[in-house]
Amino acid sequence: MNLAHLLQRQARMAPERPAILLGSQVVATHGQWAQRAQNLATQFQAAGLQPGDRVALFMRNHVRYLEVMWAAWWAGLAVVPINAKLHLREAQWIIDNAQARWAFVTADITSETGGMLLGLERVVDVDSDEAQVLWQACEPLPDLPITERRADDLAWLFYTSGTTGRPKGVMITHRNLLTMGLAYFSDVDTIASSDTIAYAAPMSHGAGIYAIPHLMAGARHMVPPSGGFDPAELFALGQQVGPLSMFAAPTIGLSPWP
């Protein structure tokens, strides 16, 4: 069992179907998303990362967020999404505790925190030339088989807020996430391939996890250009791209993120 099979399935069924959008602009079809994930997974393996190793994401909402996550799963790795609002010291503690080997960042986060993440083999700014090479190296590459994972193998290491102490790393397996994705259709709502999930809340949290059922349905994944919650922007995007849904806390309209 490996969540990467969900992406591979959509890429084979409808490779030209729009998958990842920045606002109304399509930046990846399902076929392109799968190819980029496969390319990056190949880079992980070439660098010596082994199944079960951890890759951290200290990023604001970004169109490459899902590509990193599915590339990590393709290579059999576990992802450690970190809330972009955390201070660098807090992010560093999580990276150390998770024993992450690589981290992907957005430059605005690291520049705001005024320092560098330490103890990692590689830190990649997803908007850099370095990232461009990782994503497109020798594209298209020969098919890289998805690394086999057991149902109870770690997929997502989710750190709690730590408001009463140190954050706790919750170990979420491939089975946990696949079951959540399937339960969405009976417990939350139906999803059509013409629907779009808007990532107005942090992709490091519930919004990112909701990507799984939307991928199962072959729907689209949209990052608003603002990177967060802007009612006027979302209303306009809904008129342009069609039906939108999103994960949101009840107070999101009172406290826009980020």
Residue 251 domain-assigned (yes or no):
no
Residue 256 domain-assigned (yes or no):
no
User: Taking the model in full, what pTM does it have?
Assistant: 0.92
HSE, CB side, 13 Å, CA atoms: give it for residue 154.
17
pLDDT given at position 140: 59
- The range of the structural domain enclosing residue 104 comes to 4-245
Give kind and range of the element (H or E) at residue 101.
Answer: strand 100-105
Residue 48 domain-assigned (yes or no):
yes
Instruction: Spell out the residues 6+ positions from residue 131 whose beta carbon is closer than 8 angstroms to its own.
Output: 64, 104, 124, 125
Domain CATH number, residue 37: 3.40.50.12780
Measured distance CA(194)–CA(212) in Å, rounded: 16
pLDDT given at position 258: 46
Given phi > 0 = left and psi -120 to 50 = alpha, else beta, which region is 165? Answer: left
Q: What is the pLDDT of residues 139-162, one digit of tens each?
A: 555 678 999 999 999 999 999 876
Residue 211 domain-assigned (yes or no):
yes
Lowest mean pLDDT, pick from 19-33, 171-185, 232-246:
232-246
Q: What is the pLDDT of residues 58-109, one digit of tens each?
A: 999 999 999 999 999 999 999 999 999 888 889 999 999 999 999 999 988 7
End-to-end, the C-alpha distance of the chain in Å comes to: 34
Confidence label for 115 from pLDDT (cuts 50, 70 and 90): low
pLDDT given at position 87: 86
Residue 258 domain-assigned (yes or no):
no
For the chain, how many structural domains are there in total?
1
pLDDT given at position 257: 44
Residue 79 domain-assigned (yes or no):
yes
Residue 238 domain-assigned (yes or no):
yes
